[in-house]
Amino acid sequence: MELPLFIDRFNDMSSSSLPENRAEPPRGLSLSIIIPAYNERGTMAEIIHRVKSLCEREKEIIIVDDFSTDGTRTILQQFENDPQIRVLYHERNRGKGAALQTGLGLATNDLVIIQDADLEYDPADYERLLSPFDRGLADVVYGSRFLHGERRVLYFWHSLGNKLLTTLSNVCTDLNLSDMETCYKVFKRDIIQNVELESDRFGFEPEITSKLARLNCTFYEVSISYFGRPYAEGKKITWKDGIAAFFHILKFALRPKPTPLDPDVFYTAMVSPPAKVDKGMQTLAAFEQAKYYNHWTYEQFERFLGHRIIEIGSGIGNITSELLISPETESLTATELSASSLEILKQRFGDFSKLKTSSWNLETAPSEELIKEKFDTIVCSNVLEHIQDDVLALRHMKQLLQSDDRLVLLVPAHQILFSQIDTGLGHYRRYSRETLRKALEAAGFQIEHMATFNFLGALAWWWSGKVMRNNDLGTGGIKLFDRLVPLLRVIDPILSKLFFGVSVIAVATPKDSN
């Protein structure tokens, strides 16, 4: 019997946005001004004076001295008692990116702007830079030296190199910035503080541009004045930094998509947050089409099944379909906590008279109605890892079984494989044979059979989650894996016994009758 696909319905369901509880477009947002400094004795006092006098917003000024040796620190000491200013000193020269990371981590106001100490950029441009935020339009604003604004005419090759780097960055990020390397970058604090930064020197510009673009932040660009200084006046960036920026652009373009440190805060702060996707439901939907894999999984425990089965945590029915079409199944009760999943199960399998559906939270004892059904088999596939108190959940399952009945359990294997993929799926843990055995015995079960399963799946999980640091398995990878199943089912029994598998399968019976 052909079973209907769920994937189209899932796509419709996942189109809803993230929480719409963002505040009205803000007005008069407060400002944190980060000033990284290295050997700026000639301009340090003047830039502080300009920032304080030209910006009338509520503000804090955070200055990070990156181990200056020219007397800059002596000047900064004069401002240490100013209530608007915080001065921090690096104990060694670590680079502009490291100074920015120090300052950004200490910002407390709504918006954060980067201000160089060398007077090339004019704080008189602040209000123009902040206008898109005041109107609720932007997550990030860059000040462009190449739009219509006043600027000092200097080096052709420097300008050309800047444009080449900006073009390469645009190719990799699909933005159309005119000045990626600009100093004047303004961010919402809740956004910039939730991006993990790693570039200690001039790689900060391509890194932050790449990461925020790939996180779908809304960029704005405004024209600014620019009074570039020649090398004779202390300009520090050179062609070597341009080459380094080139490789940084490629480096971050080839990385997996970044993940915010606190996704809830990050996405709530965005002007246009991406559509919210339930990772667990998305993965179930992808595996629904993996027909070879689902049947292969079912084959691992088919011989242990009875005739009156309860499936706990049926999801959208990827294993349910296998249980229903088996002629050995006389009755099947599919349980789920999610009301939407139960509705999908009814829509997919409503024509099967031997199917019942029921809502059950494994963290609570089963209802009297379920206990009266007298099941001979419990099937619980990829559910136990989602429950904080797994022993309690196993004890609740045991209440449905008599001494000769069986619990068939499939869980993810090996805590060493635990990654962001597990976190996104809502896993509390992964199991070894020993930890699963202990949990079952603590709940009053005795082990009849235990085996690991799917060696190649373990390698794929390790590569995707631990090496590439991906957040999900990806539908393409699941489809490719499904095509390999006819081969894997031949060689996996050998490989899993010799090495390990991505899942542990256990079959257990109650130690005593209920």
* CB 229 within 8 Å of CB 43: no
Instruction: Give bridge partners of residue 308 from the DSSP assignment.
Output: 331
CA distance 175 to 48: 33
Average pLDDT over residues 384-394: 96
Average pLDDT over residues 441-450: 96
Tokens of 451: 């085996």
Q: What integer pLDDT is reported at residue 13 of this predicted model? A: 43
Tokens of 78: 């004069």
Query: Residue 188 phi/psi, 5° resolution?
Result: -70, 135
CA distance 25 to 454: 51
Exposure string (b/e) for 15-49, b if CB count within 10 Å is 16 or more?
Answer: eeebeeeeeeeeeeeebbbbbbbbbbbbbbbebbe
CA distance 491 to 162: 54
Q: What integer pLDDT is reported at residue 237 of this predicted model? A: 61
* CB 305 within 8 Å of CB 328: yes
**Does the pLDDT value for residue 17 go beyond 60?**
no
Tokens of 448: 């009849």
pLDDT digits (tens, 9 = 90+) for 258-291: 989 998 899 999 999 987 656 666 676 777 788 9
Average pLDDT over residues 30-59: 94
Q: H helices of 259-413, where? A: 263-269, 279-288, 291-301, 320-325, 339-349, 368-372, 390-398
Fold observed for domain 31-269: Spore Coat Polysaccharide Biosynthesis Protein SpsA; Chain A (3.90.550)
Average pLDDT over residues 422-432: 93
Q: Which conformational region is residue 95 in: left (phi greater than 0), alpha (psi within -120 to 50 degrees), or beta?
A: left
Q: How confident is the model at residue 157 (pLDDT cuts 50, 70, 90)?
A: low
Q: Alpha carbon 305 to chain centroid distance?
A: 38
Going by the DSSP 8-state scheme, the letter that residue 471 receives in this structure is: S
**Does the pLDDT value for residue 491 go beyond 90?**
yes
CA dihedral 278, 280, 281, 285 (to 10 degrees): 130
Task: Give the rounded percent of residues in the chain with a pLDDT score beyond 90.
Answer: 71
Tokens of 417: 């494989």
CA distance 174 to 130: 24
CA distance 477 to 286: 10
Most confident segment among 249-263, 319-333, 471-485 = 319-333
Lowest-confidence range among 250-264, 364-378, 471-485? Answer: 471-485
Query: How far lies 444's CA from each of 168, 220, 477, 511, in Å?
Result: 62, 61, 39, 6
- The DSSP-derived string for 446-470 is EEEEEEEE-HHHHHHHIIIIIIS--
**Does the pLDDT value for residue 470 go beyond 60?**
yes
Tokens of 2: 């052909």
Q: What integer pLDDT is reported at residue 22 of this predicted model? A: 46
Query: Residue 401 phi/psi, 5° resolution?
Result: -120, 150
Candidates 360, 358, 351, 316; CA nearest to 333 is 358
**Domains 31-269 and 281-510 are alike in CATH topology:** no
CA distance 104 to 204: 12
CA distance 139 to 132: 9
**CATH no. for 281-510:** 3.40.50.150
Which residue type, as a one-letter code, is found at position 317?
G
Tokens of 453: 């399963």
Lowest-confidence range among 66-70, 438-442, 483-487? Answer: 483-487
**Does the pLDDT value for residue 323 go beyond 50?**
yes
CA distance 125 to 47: 13
**Does the pLDDT value for residue 257 go beyond 80?**
yes
pLDDT digits (tens, 9 = 90+) for 174-201: 999 999 999 999 999 999 999 999 999 8
pLDDT digits (tens, 9 = 90+) for 118-156: 999 999 999 999 999 999 999 999 999 888 655 554 456
- The angle subtended at Cα 342 by Cα 337 and Cα 348, nearest 5°, is 150
Q: What integer pLDDT is reported at residue 477 of this predicted model? A: 81
Which residue type, as a one-letter code, is found at position 301?
F
Q: How confident is the model at residue 14 (pLDDT cuts 50, 70, 90)?
A: very low
CA distance 493 to 172: 43
Average pLDDT over residues 95-116: 97
> Cβ of 274: how many Cβ atoms within 10 Å?
11
* CB 308 within 8 Å of CB 317: no
CA distance 368 to 357: 15
Average pLDDT over residues 436-441: 97
CA distance 53 to 114: 17
- The DSSP-derived string for 240-281 is HHHHHHHHHHHHHHHSPPP--SSHHHHHHH-SSPPBP--HHH
Tokens of 115: 């201000």
Lowest-confidence range among 133-137, 176-180, 229-233, 305-309? Answer: 229-233
- This prediction has a pTM of 0.57
Domain boundaries along the sequence of the chain: 31-269, 281-510
Which residue type, as a one-letter code, is found at position 59?
K
Q: What integer pLDDT is reported at residue 287 of this predicted model? A: 75
Q: What integer pLDDT is reported at residue 231 of this predicted model? A: 47
